[in-house]
Structure 1
Amino acid sequence: MMATTHVFAGLAAVAPIAYVAPEFAVALAVGAIAGGLVPDFDLVFTHRRTLHFPVAGVAVALPAVVLATVVPTSPSLAFAAFAVAAWLHAASDVIGGGPEMDPWNDRTERAVYDHVRGRWLFPRRWVRYDGAPEDAVVAVALAVPTLVVFDGWFTAVIAGGIVVSLVYTFARRRLVAWTPDWLE
């Protein structure tokens, strides 16, 4: 799925807490945005393996949530939001296609690496590939409710993310033809 979809999923996960405790909205949003993005920093390594922890990530996310519940401070809530969003990112990559540049060709049966079992999880392809039309629908569906909860510059970030998602969806299949051979 698109990076923006992962960010919107993280924001949607923390939105109810930010609604009830608006004094922590900034910390929650910053943590969720970072957690939604950071796993994809492994694009320069082994994508969906180096920084993706679909099973082991819960071992960090759950204690972080417990800590944030017991000690509700901006740092603890930001860390919990980060951990949950990063785990959701990694876990949800299994519902998409593979990590290759053109996953619509179904070239691989590798969605995301499970470090606990030491094997790749199979792609479910419910969202056929990042930037597929169904990915855009999921992104917008997750983003719109967050516009109600988060305000200020977050509104611009979310609205900009929706625009980026739609433009990327429109151009996604053409990107492979525009990509230099050394990146494939």
Structure 2
Amino acid sequence: MTLDRQMLTIAAAGVCTLLSPSAGSACSFAQGSMTASQIKQQAADHFKRATVLIDAEVIEPMSSVSDSKPGLTPTAYLRVLKTWKGGVQPDLVPVVYISSCDIVLERKGERLRILLIGEGVFRADQGMNGGGVIDLPTYNAEIDRLAGQRRSTAMDQFPGALPSPEGN
């Protein structure tokens, strides 16, 4: 086997390994209960790790993640209502969906308080925004305390979550 053919074989094997599904390719959260103190500590850690914390409105939702075309990254554009941490362009903030651990923002007009990671183009990680936390109100209250103001009740649900049916 020539050196070029060996390199091609090694490169092809590497690509196949990277693209093949694995147990770690889906986003999952640790199961189990956490005390209020542990939830607050987790929220504080996530707040510290986040690049920005904003209140925003979804102006242009992501295209359906399952319908996305090869080579195109689902992207939502948010209009910033208030910046609590970090700095972002006030007009439109792009938020991309890269993995199953990211939040899908598919509802135009949704208002949310959200922690983002990145610079220029951002990701909204589920875990950093309370995903997997059984007591989301405690988590949100700690993020709000760190921001310096309680969020409006319109922003109480998990970002990207469908609203509950009327009357339930």
Q: What's the TM-score once normalised by structure 2's chain length?
A: 0.23
The structure that is strand-richer by fraction is: 2
Structure number with higher helix proportion: 1
